[in-house]
Amino acid sequence: NAGVTQTPKFQVLKTGQSMTLQCAQDMNHEYMSWYRQDPGMGLRLIHYSVGAGITDQGEVPNGYNVSRSTTEDFPLRLLSAAPSQTSVYFCASSSLGGASYEQYFGPGTRLTVT
């Protein structure tokens, strides 16, 4: 199992550009989520999904879109990048069934917006 994979690892964007951060998991997890991590702060939830076709907003959703067309993939789209979106982005997944509680995190994408 590859677990949770994210691409790219690093990205530099100019203000106003759009891009998609990719996230995939091979554990058949229903739940997937995106977090951002800023210096001196913990991770904050951007969007999450409890299954294909179902997404919802987290704490800091503005400027980001998501979709979930398959169980495996959960891409995060930046519509018009802003310097305030410079951050490290983590994707995570988890099973919703049984007593499982652990969230598995991807390696992160470091995004810089100039």
Residues that bind other proteins in the complex, under the rule CB under 8 A: 31, 33, 35, 40-45, 48, 50, 56, 58, 88, 90, 92, 94, 96, 101-105, 107-108, 110
Residue closer to other proteins, measured from CB, 83 or 107 = 107
Residue closer to other proteins, measured from CB, 74 or 90 = 90
Residue closer to other proteins, measured from CB, 35 or 85 = 35
**C-alpha separations of 11 from 35, 63, 75 in Å:** 16, 17, 15
Residue closer to other proteins, measured from CB, 14 or 102 = 102
CB of 74 to other proteins, least distance (A): 13
Q: How far apart are the first and last CA of the chain?
A: 36
What sign has the CA pseudo-torsion 95, 27, 43, 101?
positive
CB of 55 to other proteins, least distance (A): 11
CB of 50 to other proteins, least distance (A): 5
The SS3 assignment for 16 reads coil
CB of 48 to other proteins, least distance (A): 6
Closest Cα to residue 108, out of 11, 2, 1?
A: 11
Closest Cα to residue 65, out of 53, 55, 50, 52?
A: 55
